[in-house]
Structure 1
């Protein structure tokens, strides 16, 4: 499978997770986040699991698209769930925003579909996605074994259905990142880039599994890109973070911005 277009480094709304949330006194709007991305020299932004997106009407969505266009930013869209009506809603959103990719996951609260249901759903809706030129990328994550996700992708067997690679997620299911990278490599349409690490909890009782600045944790980035070859295959790399809340709002925002800049510097140096 190859990506249509150019391979680019982009930011996810997860790179501004805390600044977009109501945990801060003055949350960013999605328009603000796009402007921050542009100021960092980024021309690709993935609006991923951003709840307000679902409540926007077509006029609101068109306004987001106008902001992105004015800033020279291409948009991608991410959601969770595979119910047909939900996928069609996000196909509509993707159309207005100009996204040629929809990242999703199988499970949402109240709906954990089996493989047969997922296959049937994709076989039903993919012709509409293909007609619109929008691909679906299923993210690797701990709630669904990677091999089960790959089984669905293989059964559907469409260039419009593939994988959003994120080996950090699968560690929680005791799937080793390198093994996941090896398994998903032929099917990758999109990459989420975030580093991760274990740290001892207080008293050395157990561990915390959390984010780390890119290049300082356990993510073997060089191995991953050697296997997946995003530049050769024109696969976009989207920066995310797993940054825990710090001692204060100011410190959390400062560190979130620092991690974003470090991630961009790291990827641009490769």
Structure 2
């Protein structure tokens, strides 16, 4: 038995899971938690030669592995899939009895719409009914140097959703915009209201908005009426000179009230998926005490900063925040897998995602 198999069996048990085919009413209460491709940041397209943790090169590889470790589904990037590959993904997904969500880029201009529509079609053919997207690939406080730049981003984000909406309506596929360290919750809600489409909602990331000095529970309550998907994670924080450090940590070991957050999401959307985004990496620096951080936060009161720093200071981590830079490539892969297995176990034992 290799190390991967031992970890899988010891954490989850050797018994097979009986997973109903998707889609079905209320399935999120009846199948295990899924896994976001970004949870495998080291292993996805890995160039490391590893016997225990071979790299994943496509959605089928990820489906197979996540089924083996007891996940209920996956959320994976959909881009330039052929009709043949979409059919293979659909067939494998159906055989494994897993759900499938996609992650997709939005059209930035009219000439991008045909390629976007092709990706939506291929995703639909594979069995995807919800596509997660982001308006900004980076982080707001690192990307924009002026409020004017951010205002241009806001306009472009709205325009992209307006270009995407007719395609989504035509193919009856939903698009869920993530709070991706770009929009603060009121800003994203305002955009969703302006688009006003049953096919456009949100992927609620449980922890991202801490980086924007938002209370994670308040963010979730604001976005829950629009929830179509989630990135479930737990977070740990620690002070540093220019602000605070922010890390994803295994579920149940951080500061978030996961049972309550899950319950709120289910209340608003009983069929919502819970997709694990356990990113194994060095802590992120949130430089909220540096002047440049505030370039796009003209309307954020000082009380938000005070509340966040108070939260950081009163939730000191019990152990040092995880760091992967000092680790060997093989140890990084092993740590990544161990973290994901730990989270799946927690989801079954504490969140009733079985």
> Same fold judged by TM-score > 0.5?
yes
Q: Deviations over 1:40-93 (max 9, x none)?
A: 222311104xxxx42443323333333323322221101243435254243123
Question: 2:72–2:98: 8 Å Cα contact kept in structure 1?
Answer: yes
Instruction: Name the CA shift for 1:100/1:232 in 2 (closer, same or farther; >3 Å).
Output: closer
Match of residue 16 from structure 1: 40
**For 1:1-270, what aligned pairs fall within 5 Å after superposition?**
5=25, 6-7=27-28, 8=31, 9-25=33-49, 26-30=54-58, 31-48=60-77, 53-83=78-108, 85=113, 87-108=116-137, 114-199=153-238, 207-229=244-266, 233-244=270-281, 245=324, 247-269=327-349, 270=351
Gaps of 5+ in 1: none
Question: 1:138–1:163: 8 Å Cα contact kept in structure 2?
Answer: yes
Cα deviation for residue 231 of structure 1 reads: 8.9
Question: 1:82–1:104: 8 Å Cα contact kept in structure 2?
Answer: no
Cα deviation for residue 131 of structure 1 reads: 3.3
Cα deviation for residue 119 of structure 1 reads: 4.0
Cα deviation for residue 137 of structure 1 reads: 0.5
Structure with the greater alpha carbon radius of gyration: 2
Gaps of 5+ in 2: 1-22, 144-148, 282-323
For the residue of structure 2 that corresponds to 1:47, the secondary structure is strand
Instruction: Name the CA shift for 1:266/1:218 in 2 (closer, same or farther; >3 Å).
Output: same
For the residue of structure 2 that corresponds to 1:54, the secondary structure is coil
Instruction: Name the CA shift for 1:143/1:123 in 2 (closer, same or farther; >3 Å).
Output: closer
For the residue of structure 2 that corresponds to 1:263, the secondary structure is helix
Cα deviation for residue 175 of structure 1 reads: 1.5
Question: 1:10–1:42: 8 Å Cα contact kept in structure 2?
Answer: yes
Question: 1:81–1:108: 8 Å Cα contact kept in structure 2?
Answer: no
- C-alpha RMSD of matched pairs (Å): 2.9
Instruction: Name the CA shift for 1:121/1:206 in 2 (closer, same or farther; >3 Å).
Output: closer
Q: TM-score by structure 1 length? A: 0.84
In structure 1, distance between residues paired with 2:61 and 2:221: 37
More deviation in 113-122 or 216-225?
113-122
Instruction: Name the CA shift for 1:166/1:39 in 2 (closer, same or farther; >3 Å).
Output: same
Q: TM-score by structure 2 length? A: 0.66
Cα deviation for residue 241 of structure 1 reads: 1.1
